[in-house]
């Protein structure tokens, strides 16, 4: 191949602008025996790329992979049963948790009424107490009035009795 053409492709190659076809051409060119001396320093690089393309996995890899995949597949087949048992246990636990929660809330509501209600009853009790107290005070006042009248009556009776006796 023309050296000028190689120079041109190499220029593109170093700039990172060469095509895959250009690069394949360079690899082929530098694998030849007779090339100009000016390319000797870079020849090993293209030879290295070509050699590296021939690095392969060892022959046992496919067998090892097959047995590994079979093991994974076998585990997959067992998994669903285990999975369903786990799911049942989880579901039962969730239902139990909800039931306990409901019981707890129900208990709270029934045993201790909400504080607003408690306050109303307390206020009502206070009001009833005040009304009862007022009524009793009134009765007591009226009763006291009667006592003084009765006392004055008794005094008058005593005075009249004394007059009669004299």
Partner 1 sequence: MIIEDYKKLVLPIKNKLFRFSLRIVGNVAEAEDVVQEVFIKVWNKRSELDTYKNIEAWCMTLTKNLSIDKLRSKHRRVDAFADTFDMPSEAASPYQVAATNDTMGRIGKMMTELPEKQRMVMQLRDIEGMSYKEIAEILSVTLDQVKINLFRARKAIRSQLLNSESYGL
- State the residues that interact with partner 1 by CB under 8 A: 13-17, 20, 23-24, 40-42, 44-45, 47-49, 51-53, 55-58, 61-62, 64-66, 68-70, 72-73
Tokens of 154: 């008794």
Distance CA(152)–CA(158), nearest Å, equals: 10
Three-state secondary-structure class, residue 12: helix
CA nearest to 49, candidates 13, 83, 81: 13
Nearer to partner 1, 48 or 129 (CB): 48
Minimum distance, C-beta of residue 80 to partner 1, in the bound complex (Å): 14
Shortest separation between residue 1's beta carbon and partner 1, angstroms? 19
DSSP one-letter string for 52-115: HTT----TTHHHHHHHHHHHHHHHHHHHHHHHHHHHHHHHHHHHHHHHHHHHHHHHHHHHS--H
Q: In terms of CB distance, is 3 or 47 closer to partner 1?
A: 47
CB nearer to partner 1: give 54 or 164.
Answer: 54
Q: State in angstroms the smallest separation of the CB of 70 from partner 1.
A: 7
Q: Which is nearer to partner 1, 64 or 149 (CB)?
A: 64
CB of 46 to partner 1, least distance (A): 9
């Amino acid at each position: 191949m023309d050296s000028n053409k190689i120079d041109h492709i190499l220029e593109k190659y170093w700039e990172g602008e060469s095509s895959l076809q250009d690069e394949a051409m360079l690899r082929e060119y530098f694998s030849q025996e007779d090339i100009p001396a000016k390319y000797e320093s870079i020849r090993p690089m293209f030879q290295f790329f070509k050699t590296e393309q021939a690095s392969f996995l060892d022959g046992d890899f496919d067998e090892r992979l097959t047995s590994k995949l079979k093991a994974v597949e076998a585990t997959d087949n067992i998994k669903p049963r285990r999975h369903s048992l786990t799911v049942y246990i989880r579901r039962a636990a969730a239902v139990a948790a909800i039931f306990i929660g409901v019981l707890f809330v129900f208990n709270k509501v029934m045993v201790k009424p909400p504080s607003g209600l408690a306050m109303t009853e307390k206020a009502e009790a206070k009001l009833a107490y005040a009304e009862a107290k007022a009524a009793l005070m009134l009765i007591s006042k009226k009763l006291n009035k009667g006592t003084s009248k009765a006392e004055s009556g008794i005094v008058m009776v005593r005075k009249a009795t004394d007059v009669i006796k004299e």
